[in-house]
Amino acid sequence: MSPRMGLDLPAILQAATEIADQQGLENVSLAGLANKLDVRSPSLYNHVNGLPGLRKKMAVYGIGLLTADMRHAAVGRSGDEALRAIARAYVSFVRKHPGLYEATLRAPEADDEDHRRESEALVALVVRVLDVYEYQGEDVYYVVRCFRSMLHGFASLEQQGGFGMPLGLDDTLELLIDAFLAGMRVLKQQRVSGLTKPDAWSERAGDTR
Tell me the pLDDT band of 186, cut-offs 50, 70 and 90.
confident
- Contact, 66 vs 28, CB < 8 A? no
Q: Which of 57-61, 159-163, 181-185, 189-193 is the least confident region?
A: 189-193
Residues near 79 by Cβ (< 8 Å), separated by ≥ 6?
132
Task: Between 142 and 206, name the one with better pLDDT.
Answer: 142
User: Is pLDDT of 136 > 90?
Assistant: no
Rounded Cα distance, 59 and 61, in Å: 5
- Contact, 39 vs 95, CB < 8 A? no
- Contact, 45 vs 4, CB < 8 A? no
Indicate the DSSP class of residue 133. G
User: Is pLDDT of 39 > 70?
Assistant: yes
Rounded Cα distance, 194 and 196, in Å: 6
Tell me the pLDDT band of 197, cut-offs 50, 70 and 90.
low
How does pLDDT run across 143-156, given as a tens digit for each residue? 999 999 999 999 99
Q: What is the pTM of this model?
A: 0.87
What does each C-alpha distance from 106 to 82, 114, 178 come to in angstroms?
Answer: 26, 14, 28
Average pLDDT, the chain: 90
- Give the pLDDT confidence score for residue 10 in this predicted structure: 96
How does pLDDT run across 92-124, given as a tens digit for each residue? 999 999 999 999 998 888 889 999 999 999 999
Rounded Cα distance, 182 and 85, in Å: 16
Rounded Cα distance, 87 and 73, in Å: 9
Q: How many C-beta atoms lie closer than 10 Å to residue 34's C-beta?
A: 18
Tell me the pLDDT band of 198, cut-offs 50, 70 and 90.
low
